[in-house]
Structure 1
Amino acid sequence: MDPRTSAQDVMRCDLCETAVVQMHCDTCLVNLCTACVGKHMISDESKDHKVVKFQARKSTPLYPGCKSHSKQQCTMHCDQCDIPVCTKCLASDQHLCHKLSEILQIVDEKKVKIFKEQTELKEKIYPTYQDIASDVQNRMSQLEKEYGDLSTAITKHGEDWHREIDKLVKKLKAEVDEMKNTQLQTLQKHLDEINKAMSEIKDKIDLVEIAINTNDLSKLFKVTSNVNIYRSLPQKLVPTLSKFIPEKIQGEKLSKLFGTLSSSSLTSDKDGYSMKTTQKSSEAGSSPPVKQLLDEPETVTTIDTGYDRYLFNVACLSDEEIWTSGNENTMKLYSTNQGSLLKSIRTKSRNNPTDIAVTKSGDLVYTDYGDRTVNIVKSEKIEEMIRLQNWRPCFVCSTSSGDLLVIMISDDYKQTKVVRYSGFTEKQTIQFDDKGKPLYSSGSYSRYITENRNLDICVSECEAKAVVVVNQAGKLRFRYTGHTPAPKNQTFYPRGIATDSQSHILTADCYNDCVHIIDQDGQFLCYIDCGLSEPWGLCTDTNDNLFVAHWENRQVKKIKYMC
């Protein structure tokens, strides 16, 4: 770093490099001390040096040099030729009868034009490109998953073929064994008959031999002649061996039998992307009226929920109604004005709900850790939206686009990820940072999630003692690890998390009996205490009222903290 411009030192003169800067030449853009002004003025007498106080630098306009006449500055603008011109240009016949304007007027007009363009680039075009980049990245992530599923399907089909081929090979080999055994048994029986005949012939030969060589004529007469029996030889059995006639393996034919892939393509959507609007709307990205944080937040009302032991979660259905859930298998809807119970819904599995959220259409969504499901309640009927394998759903939120963001942990508690669902379809997985390291800690499932107005995804991690914020594409923006001094000087263990119209992030700090408010970039703003006692779940309504679920006393407090 140049010590003359370092934040650790004052600005130094560009000529002597020792004295403190007091003056500035707007013509040469040089910083000067008072002693070096004269030296600089005579260094190049061809220039019209405009030396001003350093605080007034850039106050003297630097006119463009004329392209036709060297060392001349253009103070006028030829509107017809649309070029800057100097006095010598005006004296020539080249711009005779042309409409002329002062160049400073043209500059002002140009500044207005480029400012409008800059505003459009900043507020419409660049955010639109951000959305497009996020959309393309999401499509790439989805493409990775779908092609992975495609490869898995092919592998599974190949395994099915292997099983069927193994069964076929086993069957054919069994048939071979059966044919072999049948023919061997037939030949063995035939051999036994031949061996018997051979034994009889041998006995006959011996008997005749004795009769011929004896003088006992009676023995000779006892020999009967039955050689004709043996002149008729046994039949000749010639086995015909079965042959295996394999089908010729033809790659093309086999490919068709196994299955083929349909063609893939990238096509252009005829509707294309639409430019991000800057008009006010109720959607994320609109410009809400600026509100200020109150110096002294105040409790508007307190609702007793009547849960047996603990209250965990609260979610706004409207400005007048809130859903709650605790250590029971029943979710309760309360009126925020009357504090009265309006409705109760029991979970389908009879397990306690892990977390609750309200969709854009006003339907209640809850996660069932024990049943591995995410469920939606429509007209008091429960429908299963998502069922996981090897993972368990923990906490959930509904986004401005109508998607669901679900925090889930692996069965072995070693992995944590955030998954975006559009209806029943998985669209995006957020698990690792740019260096391949886990964004979220492993272990307990105590994590809350919400989407900020700027579309950041905010997760409170109790075990990690941090709030982890990523952008819409899943890239880490920052980690907030608390602020000191804390109201009760206890360790920061964030629980519930919510956001408001100003893109503030609010998180419950149960051990310090307060709520932290930070801005969208992670800078601490203030605490809300308001007599809180072990705050847990949080939500905000459309008027930026904060609802705090208290863990042990089972109360929900409505707090006004902005005006």
Structure 2
Amino acid sequence: MATSQGQDVIRCQLCSNPVEHHCNLCHLNLCLSCIPKHMADKSRKHEVVEYTSRREHTFILATCPTHKKNRCETYCQDCKIPVCVQCLKTSHKKHEFTNINDILQKKKQQIISDTTQLENTIVPKYRNIYLIPTITAEFDKVLAAIEEQEENVCKSVHKEANRLKDEVTRQKKETVRKSQESQDLIEKTERELNFLIQNNKDILSGNDTTPIINYKSRNRDFQNGPKLPSIPCPQFIVKQGQIVDMIGVLKTDYDSESSSESTESSDNESDL
């Protein structure tokens, strides 16, 4: 009866009885009463031994796809596949063969080596890498820089706009002052003209010859009309396309990659 220290009794894999034997080829635990049932399967070879004499750590060989009753106990180096003994005499005749256990051991060592490398070297490279927060942070920096530049540009625009408005206001006041002086002179001249008209009418309505003899025309002094002052008014010219230059532009790695791909494509076409 097979037992394991500190564990329950090992049971037969065909029934619930305690195990007493083991088939090395089928890797099956058996009780004494189930051995005949297991041996009745003539489709494969069997090697039943006492459980304590079983072969440890043996590989479970695959069934030959061509000869269903056989296990693939060797390895064809030419075809790179496991084959059975019967295959050596038929489809794989004259091929080079290797002990399949050697192949399995090498493969197993490779798996162990790969697993160790995966666990100790490769997986740590992928651990604690959080792309989304990093990418988000980088984009947020760009957005913050744009907002800061926007604020700076707005401040500069407001400052320049206020300077322009102050200058226009100053010119406006100065022009209004000069215009008022001209307006006063025009109104004074108009009063003088009205006086002359009235004086001429008075002379005409009287019979006194002296004012008529002494009359001197002054029409020539006024016939060209008032001398109007030049009133310059500044013109505001909007500069197109300046905002983009002030704000800035976006440049990504995609731009350089696209440019590089375009250059390579042009070079390839020229080679053709």
TM-score range, shorter-chain basis? 0.5 to 0.7
Q: Does residue 236 of the first structure (1) align with residue 236 of the second (2)?
A: no
Query: Which residue does 2:179 correspond to in 1?
Result: 187
Query: Which residue does 1:461 correspond to in 2?
Result: none
RMSD after superposition: 5.1
Aligned mates of 2:212, 2:183 — CA distance in 1: 33
Q: Does residue 162 of the first structure (1) align with residue 154 of the second (2)?
A: yes
Specify whether residues 60 and 160 from structure 1 end up closer, same or farther in structure 2 by C-alpha distance, changes over 3 A only: closer
- The TM-score normalised by the length of structure 1 is 0.33
Encode CA deviations 1:121-177: one digit per residue, 9 max, x unaligned.
344343222332248x27875555444334423332232222212222222222222
Encode CA deviations 1:290-349: one digit per residue, 9 max, x unaligned.
xxxxxxxxxxxxxxxxxxxxxxxxxxxxxxxxxxxxxxxxxxxxxxxxxxxxxxxxxxxx
Aligned mates of 1:20, 1:27 — CA distance in 2: 21
Aligned mates of 2:164, 2:27 — CA distance in 1: 93
Any stretches of 5+ residues in structure 1 without a counterpart?
1-10, 268-563
Greater helix fraction, Structure 1 or Structure 2: 2
Alpha-carbon deviation of 1:183?
A: 2.4
Query: Which residue does 1:264 correspond to in 2?
Result: 253
Specify whether residues 226 and 22 from structure 1 end up closer, same or farther in structure 2 by C-alpha distance, changes over 3 A only: farther
Alpha-carbon deviation of 1:119?
A: 4.0
Secondary structure of 1:127's counterpart equals helix
Query: Which residue does 1:375 correspond to in 2?
Result: none
Match of 1:46 among 43, 48, 65: 43
Specify whether residues 92 and 118 from structure 1 end up closer, same or farther in structure 2 by C-alpha distance, changes over 3 A only: closer
Contact 2:43/2:68 (<8 A) preserved: no
Amino acid at match of 1:46: S
Bigger shift: 31-40 or 63-72? 31-40
Q: Does residue 117 of the first structure (1) align with residue 114 of the second (2)?
A: no
Q: Does residue 106 of the first structure (1) align with residue 102 of the second (2)?
A: yes
Contact 1:14/1:32 (<8 A) preserved: yes
Q: Does residue 131 of the first structure (1) align with residue 124 of the second (2)?
A: yes
Specify whether residues 243 and 34 from structure 1 end up closer, same or farther in structure 2 by C-alpha distance, changes over 3 A only: farther
Bigger shift: 152-161 or 26-35? 26-35
Identity rate, percent: 24
Specify whether residues 237 and 118 from structure 1 end up closer, same or farther in structure 2 by C-alpha distance, changes over 3 A only: same
Any stretches of 5+ residues in structure 2 without a counterpart?
1-9, 258-272
Encode CA deviations 1:177-203: one digit per residue, 9 max, x unaligned.
222332222222212111122223323
Match of 2:63 among 62, 65, 72: 65
Aligned mates of 1:211, 1:96 — CA distance in 2: 153
Match of 2:218 among 215, 227, 235: 227
- The TM-score normalised by the length of structure 2 is 0.60
Alpha-carbon deviation of 1:226?
A: 5.3
Alpha-carbon deviation of 1:237?
A: 3.3
Match of 1:196 among 171, 188, 192: 188
Amino acid at match of 2:151: E
Tell which structure's C-alpha radius of gyration is larger: 2
Q: Does residue 152 of the first structure (1) align with residue 149 of the second (2)?
A: no
What aligned pairs does 1:422-441 form with structure 2 within 5 A after superposition? none
Contact 1:21/1:54 (<8 A) preserved: no
Aligned mates of 2:174, 2:91 — CA distance in 1: 120
Query: Which residue does 2:86 correspond to in 1?
Result: 88
Aligned mates of 2:172, 2:81 — CA distance in 1: 103
Aligned mates of 1:93, 1:138 — CA distance in 2: 55
Encode CA deviations 1:507-534: one digit per residue, 9 max, x unaligned.
xxxxxxxxxxxxxxxxxxxxxxxxxxxx
Greater strand fraction, Structure 1 or Structure 2: 1
Amino acid at match of 2:70: Q
Amino acid at match of 2:122: Y
Secondary structure of 1:239's counterpart equals coil
Amino acid at match of 2:102: I
Encode CA deviations 1:462-519: one digit per residue, 9 max, x unaligned.
xxxxxxxxxxxxxxxxxxxxxxxxxxxxxxxxxxxxxxxxxxxxxxxxxxxxxxxxxx
Specify whether residues 26 and 152 from structure 1 end up closer, same or farther in structure 2 by C-alpha distance, changes over 3 A only: farther
Aligned mates of 2:200, 2:29 — CA distance in 1: 145
Alpha-carbon deviation of 1:115?
A: 4.6
Contact 2:78/2:95 (<8 A) preserved: no
Secondary structure of 1:234's counterpart equals coil
Alpha-carbon deviation of 1:58?
A: 8.9
Contact 1:50/1:60 (<8 A) preserved: no
Alpha-carbon deviation of 1:37?
A: 7.9
